[in-house]
Amino acid sequence: MRSYVIGDIHGCPDELVYLVQALPLESGDRLVFLGDYIDRGPDSSGVISFLLELQKDRGAYEFVFLKGNHEDMLLSYLGLAGQHGDMFLFNGGKATLASYGFSKAEIPSHEALSLIPSAHMDFYRNLLTYYVMEPFLCVHAGIHPLKPLKDQTESELFWIRNQFIYSPHTLAYTVLFGHTPQHDVFYDLPYKVGLDTGLVYGNKLTCLETTEKVLYQIQRGKRAVKRVSIESRWPT
């Protein structure tokens, strides 16, 4: 079984489709998504619809969907469990609501909840905060570098940046994370690898296969997926 860990998508379904189609998936393989499926890009609803369709092959593959800060903001905006709903519209949320049929000229209220398909709402509600697959810990933003895993807060798991990125941590895992866009994959081994390569900003969508240490990447607006071995970067 191989695991494929995919970084931030942010409402860009075309590149996601081409990337997944290019992966050499076999029965029993695992796909892990690091969150931030929505906001800013042209079709957040389309991203979720594709992921739900993909899950129809659940018998063939294992799926792990993590929550990002943007999904958490959406849930809070809709009056459900979450934080910082007041920031949702100003962080790309208008594009998400437009993908569900709202006019961009409108300032939607909590009535938006009734216009989002129930299957999509179930998806948002059931997202995980983190996922352990030793020796890796998959999480959206990162971790507080001095806390044990059980003491990490959702704010840290969904929002932390420099305090995590530029410090070693004390957990016995290599943390695979998104959230903070980089021009290319961020390496600080054995502590962490950052997989948000800024797709929605015109850069790339990145996937890491964790067994052979292979990157699969697609440039915004392109169809070709590039495969690169990064095994040499790992400590022996």
Q: Using an 8 Å Cβ cutoff, are 111 and 75 in contact?
A: no
The CATH number assigned to the domain with range 3-233 reads 3.60.21.10
Q: What is the dihedral of CA 162, 168, 174, 180, to 10 degrees?
A: 10
Instruction: Give percent above pLDDT 90 in the chain.
Output: 88
Please state which of the ranges 53-67, 71-85, 185-199 shows the lowest mean pLDDT. Answer: 53-67
pLDDT of residue 57: 66
Q: What is the pLDDT of residues 192-229, one digit of tens each?
A: 999 999 999 999 999 999 999 999 999 999 999 999 99
pLDDT higher than threshold 90 for residue 59: no
In angstroms, the CA 83 to CA 85 distance is: 6
Check pLDDT > 70 for residue 58. Answer: no
Instruction: For 95-131, write each residue's pLDDT tens digit.
Output: 999 999 887 666 656 678 888 999 999 999 999 999 9
d(CA 112, CA 125): 15
Residue 225 CB: number of other CB atoms within 10 A? 18
- Give whole-number Cα distances, 235 to 80, 116, 191, 206, 213, in Å: 43, 45, 11, 21, 12
User: Could you identify the residue written with the tokens 């409402």?
Assistant: 11
Closest CA to 68 of 56, 76, 60, 59: 76
Answer yes or no: is pLDDT of 158 > 90.
yes
Tell if the pTM clears 0.75, that is, is over it: yes
**Overall average pLDDT of the 14-40 stretch:** 97
Nearest by Cα to 121 from 45, 192, 32, 179: 45
Q: What is the mean pLDDT of the chain?
A: 94
Domain boundary assignment for the chain: 3-233
Under 8 Å between Cβ of 144 and 156: yes
